[in-house]
Structure 1
């Protein structure tokens, strides 16, 4: 088992997600087995959770149930979800983080509702104008890479992008265990004159911030995202969400093409049997469950979004992401890095 530090307690929205309570509890049980010292607040319908725990008797000793009479629907508007935060499993899981009953919250539910409720309940950290959604994505390098923002903010100014870079680098130091992660801004070209004023100005300030624990590499184009050349890629939420969905669609497209090719003839089927170890490795690398757990960075508390369709492996990985952030005190790292940045930058530059 992997140790996760001083027994972090994670609040789990047991009722959220497309796959239901059974998969959520199976994922929690898997996480307890994988990560030593884990404890949980299981938030949802108490009767259903107790019945579900009968299949996971070893989980009961490490868990406490918080009853929530209602759930947030996948189609529910964020404004509606906020009004019901005190009675829903998602809202009460976030509340547990706010009052200190849990170090982080994990939910597979409605992304917009989770973001809205987390922002209202936890508020943004001092020095952060907007929170950002960050996730680990696969690459050809030795490690995954962090990308943010993935949809929380459709428009961003220079200061937003700089704050995202600081938060993303802090997260990479925790999630990827890197001392000086390589950071780049997503742009339409690598030349200094390319891109919007906001992107170019952010690049200028980040190049001068050599005192920060990051290695700023300038701009990166969309076709280089997964090459392993950088560890953190920063962009506005509009561009980031399109890039993410395009990458996911391309992965499914390649998978479907391979399936079609390998079943097109007897010779292809024989070729599939010969190449099966390689195709299984490709399938594992592209499986979103193996990279599950997007993080809302910039809040006064830790909240992790699991894929709505995640299986028990994906849920366990999302819980592992949350536990690691608690252990490494990610919010403190971000606060320290922002303070360091502001101490070196003229006040008028921060208002640009």
Structure 2
């Protein structure tokens, strides 16, 4: 029951998700004395949830290594363990990101054929939306890791964005075949010789993300995290520039008022809450990270990501696609 606005935003998000997903039952973990008032406030349907009381929690600033040693009775640990035990189909948390990753890998374990899980999310583009991974779970990756990310990203795109034939691209410093580090070029060669070849479009650059040049952008966690933060910073800059221009003169203010309906539509499209819910893919269970500052709308969308992943058997699709790609060369090396 973590997050900047928990438990209010979490329970409000569950209430919203109740309406969107009438066939979903919720398992809520937390301190009953703190959470129950919000369950009453938002009038959760008694037959739509079960509550598991635990006063222990992982603080937002707690180191993952400390959390692993001391947090085995925390709400986060118990929620993830519920997925392992088959009591829940997925876990969604707005709490400590490092602890969520550490607990998820330790409790759930990685899928057969997957060496490293990756953080994947959805971002807005000129054409609609795209999938980007890894966003920070793995600072350094070899060719095999990148190919595994491509497989997982392709399956995720099918499940969440409903794309029947997702196109793939490896994020690089140029589109030419000679550009980039050895592991990126090696991963490209493996993908060209794999079952994903038809939809693999080669190398893409960071400005292609906003253009939506492909459906799935694959990169290492170091590069992906920097790209994500740059995109977020640019979005905030544009908002501030628009505000400054609008306040510049009376004519500017008038023009701003006339454009307000269009600007509201733009704000809605760019609302981070629409794209909330980053999944740690590659595990033997579904683990979703909601942004710590997410409101009820954002948390409900993170729950929606979990629902889509379960409904479309994301784990099974990843395993099926992975079986079609030969990685014997990397294993021999």
Normalised by the size of structure 1, how large is the TM-score? 0.92
Alpha carbons of 1:49 and 1:214: their partners in 2 closer, same or farther (altered >3 Å)? farther
In the alignment, what sits opposite 1:45? 31
Q: In the alignment, what sits opposite 1:166?
A: 151
Measured in 2, the distance between the counterparts of 1:238 and 1:105 equals 25
Aligned counterparts of 1:67 and 1:212: Cα–Cα separation in 2: 46
Contiguous gaps of at least 5 residues in structure 1: 1-14
Contact 1:104 1:302 (C-alpha < 8 Å) held by counterparts: yes
- Following the alignment from structure 1 to structure 2, what is the Cα–Cα distance between the partners of residues 36 and 182? 33
Q: How many positions carry a matched residue from both structures?
A: 333
**Aligned equivalents of 2:51 and 2:197: distance in 1?**
40
What is aligned with 2:252?
A: 268
How far is the alpha carbon of 1:84 from its aligned partner? Answer: 2.9
Give the corresponding residue for 1:306. Answer: 290
Distance (Å, rounded) in 2 between the aligned partners of 1:213 and 1:190: 17
Query: Per the alignment, do residues 351 and 259 of structure 1 end up closer, same or farther by CA in structure 2, a change over 3 Å counting?
Result: farther
Give the root-mean-square deviation of aligned CA atoms.
1.3
- The residue number in structure 2 matching 1:65 is 51
Equivalent position to 2:213, from 201, 226, 229: 229
Aligned to 2:300: 316
SS at match of 2:223: helix
* 1:152 correspondence with 2:137: yes
The alpha-carbon deviation at position 214 of structure 1 amounts to 6.4
The structure-2 alpha-carbon separation of the partners of 1:214 and 1:172, relative to structure 1 and needing over 3 Å to count, comes to farther
Q: Is the 8 A contact 1:181 1:214 kept in 2?
A: no
Tell me whether 29-38 or 94-103 shows the greater mean CA deviation.
29-38
Distance 1:279 1:29 in 2: 29
- How many angstroms does 1:110 deviate by? 1.1
Tell me the residue number matched to 1:194: 179
Rounded to whole Å, the distance in 1 between the matches of 2:303 and 2:67 is: 23
Matching of residue 30 in structure 1 with residue 16 in structure 2: yes
Distance 1:214 1:256, change over 3 A: farther
Q: Contact between 1:180 and 1:214, CA under 8 Å: does it hold in 2?
A: no
Matched, 1:132 2:128: no
Tell me: CA distance 1:351–1:297, structure 2 relative to 1, closer, same or farther (3 Å). farther
The equivalent residue for 2:201 is 217
Q: Is the 8 A contact 2:191 2:197 kept in 1?
A: no
For the residue of structure 2 that corresponds to 1:181, the secondary structure is coil
Say whether the 8 Å CA contact 1:169–1:213 is kept in structure 2: no
**SS of equivalent to 1:276:** helix
d(CA) in 2 for partners of 1:96, 1:275 = 49
Which residue is 2:280 aligned to?
296
Q: Deviations over 1:305-345 (max 9, x none)?
A: 00100000000000000011111111111111111213xx5
SS of 2:103's equivalent in the other structure is helix
CA distance, structure 2, for counterparts of residue 278 and residue 16 of structure 1:
35
1:351 deviates by 3.9
Moved more, 329-338 or 147-156: 329-338
Superposition TM-score, scaled by structure 2 size: 0.97
Give the aligned partner of residue 253 of structure 1.
Answer: 237
Give the SS at the match of 2:125. Answer: coil
Q: Any idea what the Cα deviations from partners look like across 1:252-285, whole Å, max 9, x if unmatched?
A: 0000110111112111110111111221122112
Runs of 5+ consecutive residues of structure 2 not aligned to the other structure: none
